[in-house]
């Protein structure tokens, strides 16, 4: 999971104020600044992992009862979608046709629609899409699709991944690509599908989020989100729970993200049909353009 408002509990380091294409240095961004909303984890990683190990319903964190808590995370400052929509409109221009990848419950979608965009959103979770349909109604096309098999009868001005499939995090003063998809092959297949659904010169905006860190964050209604991360051989594992102040777990999940460094991510983008990646000053996005 990704968020914009919690405090990173690791040293952000000396973040660059410029971007070298290919190295993808981090600019000054709100999503990597240290903030005061979060705290040290208030439940232990060991107890959470033990609880999850005994629970058989954890394979997909976006099923089960998690979608009912998703909007609670957003309303508590987990992601500022109003600001995201403002930045995207600045990057992409007004009244654009936009493909949103990993639409979730449609909060960003709604903000984009209110700014005059025509949005088509895809997601793998029917439970998330049901909430998005209740929020948006007939004002956007929402489809249950796998981005690796994306098949829409339309080409778009732009595509957006606000963490739904891909996102960037700062690491060692560089941006590391994280993906919900496993391995180079699936990521290349999916990126090619995105490129095929863009008009020539179409833009692809991928969000930049805070560095991975262990933390607890207070939510509305007296609940908390706690998240732990650990490094895998070729990725990151995120274990999270929504729980009460005394540690009663209400929802939980485990996500594994593939990670790609600068050279590897650039090869992926080029092979998929995108030009050089660039970070736009004053935004939380990396921008690609289809050849």
Q: In angstroms, rounded to a whole number, what is the distance separating the alpha carbons of residues 195 and 288?
A: 10
Matching residue, tokens 């964190």:
61
- In the chain, the DSSP E strands lie at 97-101, 118-123, 141-144, 156-161, 166-171, 174-179, 198-207, 215-218, 224-232, 235-243, 249-260, 278-279, 285-289
pLDDT at site 61: 60
Q: In angstroms, rounded to a whole number, what is the distance separating the alpha carbons of residues 32 and 10?
A: 11
Average pLDDT in the 70-86 region? 87
CA atoms within 13 A on the CB side of 200: 0
Percent of the chain with pLDDT over 70: 84
Q: In angstroms, rounded to a whole number, what is the distance separating the alpha carbons of residues 145 and 151?
A: 8
| Contact status, residue 109 vs residue 140, Cβ threshold 8 Å | yes
pLDDT at site 122: 98
pLDDT at site 166: 97
Matching residue, tokens 């863009």:
198
Q: How would residue 55 be classed by pLDDT, with cut points 50, 70 and 90?
A: low
Q: How would residue 277 be classed by pLDDT, with cut points 50, 70 and 90?
A: confident
| Contact status, residue 288 vs residue 166, Cβ threshold 8 Å | no
pLDDT at site 173: 84
- pLDDT tens-digit map of 166-224: 999 998 888 999 999 999 999 999 999 999 999 999 999 999 998 889 999 999 889 99
Tell me the two tokens of residue 79: 């992601």
Q: How would residue 62 be classed by pLDDT, with cut points 50, 70 and 90?
A: low
Residue 146: C-alpha distances to residues 9, 180, 181, 268 (Å): 34, 12, 11, 19
Domains and CATH numbers, the chain: 30-289 (3.40.50.150)
Q: How would residue 115 be classed by pLDDT, with cut points 50, 70 and 90?
A: very high
What is the DSSP secondary structure assignment for residue 290, as one 8-state letter? B
pLDDT at site 107: 94
SS3 category, 109: helix
SS3 category, 173: coil
pTM value?
Answer: 0.84
Q: In angstroms, rounded to a whole number, what is the distance separating the alpha carbons of residues 260 and 204?
A: 18
* Mean pLDDT taken over the chain: 84
| Contact status, residue 225 vs residue 78, Cβ threshold 8 Å | yes
What is the DSSP secondary structure assignment for residue 208, as one 8-state letter? B
């Amino acid at each position: 999971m990704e968020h914009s408002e919690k405090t990173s509990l690791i040293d952000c380091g000396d973040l660059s104020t410029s971007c070298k294409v290919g190295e993808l240095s981090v600019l000054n961004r709100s999503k990597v600044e240290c903030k005061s909303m979060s705290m040290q984890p208030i439940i232990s990683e060991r107890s959470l992992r033990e609880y999850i190990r005994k629970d058989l319903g954890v394979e997909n964190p976006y099923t089960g009862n998690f979608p009912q808590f998703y909007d609670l995370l957003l309303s508590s400052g987990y992601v500022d979608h109003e600001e995201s929509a403002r930045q995207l409109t600045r990057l992409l221009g007004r009244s654009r046709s936009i493909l949103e990848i990993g639409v979730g419950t449609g909060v960003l979608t709604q903000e984009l629609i209110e700014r005059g965009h025509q949005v088509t959103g895809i997601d793998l979770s029917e439970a998330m899409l049901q909430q998005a349909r209740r929020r948006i109604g007939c004002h956007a096309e929402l489809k249950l699709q796998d981005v690796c098999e994306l098949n829409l009868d339309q080409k778009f001005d732009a595509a957006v991944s606000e963490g739904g499939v891909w996102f960037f995090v700062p690491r060692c003063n560089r941006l590391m690509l994280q993906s919900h998809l496993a391995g180079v092959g699936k990521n290349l297949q999916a990126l090619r599908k995105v490129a095929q659904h863009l008009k020539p010169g179409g833009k692809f905006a991928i969000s930049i989020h805070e560095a991975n860190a262990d933390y607890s964050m207070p939510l509305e209604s007296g609940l908390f989100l706690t998240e732990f991360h650990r490094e895998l051989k070729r990725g990151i594992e995120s274990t999270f729970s929504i729980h009460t102040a005394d540690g009663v777990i209400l929802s939980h999940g485990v996500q594994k993200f593939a990670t790609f460094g600068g050279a590897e991510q650039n090869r992926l983008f080029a092979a998929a049909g995108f030009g050089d990646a660039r970070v736009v000053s004053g935004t939380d996005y990396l921008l690609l353009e289809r050849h």
